Amino acid sequence: MQMPDGYQIPDDPDAGHMDAAYLRTCLGIPTPLSGEPPQLPMAVRKAYFHMAHALSRLGAKRPRMDATQIATVVALSAMLGDSVEEPPPTRTFLDDLEDGIVDEGGKVVVRYRAADHPGHFLRVEGDKIVVLHDGNERRCHPTAIRIPNDGEFPDVPSSINNLAGA
């Protein structure tokens, strides 16, 4: 059977179909905190389609694949000939810090409790970023901190150093 053009692997948490998310995790493809998740490589989609079709014909298809079947899809995709590309390196807040884009006290966006909040960068402690958020110091993973987009949180000062007179 031929895979239809534009075939997408199910990824609907409400229906219990999270196979695309499981495959991205297995392949190490990072998903951004906001926005659309990246599309899986064609080889993975082909392998998944053929595996799902075979399971359906055998009458063994459940609403989603189990971990062994997902691992089999990854192995089959490697054998199809299309290479599974290494995901591009993702920039973290630490990269922005090294490039001098933000200074101590500068405005940042903190991803906290599944929402974006304004905050201010204080310092780096080991592998954590310390930010001032809602009057409290929080230690966050570098992927939970980003530079604000233009016009984002306009009522928050660009630096707490300006407020303190430093």
Is the pLDDT score of 138 beyond 80? yes
pLDDT for the residue numbered 61 = 58
- What percentage of the chain carries pLDDT values higher than 70? 84
30-33's contacts with Cβ under 8 Å and 24+ in sequence apart are 30/87, 30/90, 33/111, 33/143, 33/144
- In the chain, CATH 2.30.30.140 sits at 93-160
Domain covering 93-160, topology: SH3 type barrels. (2.30.30)
Is the pLDDT score of 165 beyond 60? no
pLDDT tens-place string over residues 45-86: 888 888 887 777 777 656 567 777 777 777 777 666 555 555
Nearest to 51 by CA among 66, 41, 37: 66
Higher-scoring residue by pLDDT: 9, 17: 9
pLDDT for the residue numbered 52 = 82
pLDDT tens-place string over residues 81-128: 555 555 566 778 888 888 888 889 999 999 888 789 999 999 999 889
Phi and psi for 134 in degrees, rounded to 5? 55, 40
Token pair 């958020």 is found at 133
pTM over the 0.85 mark: no
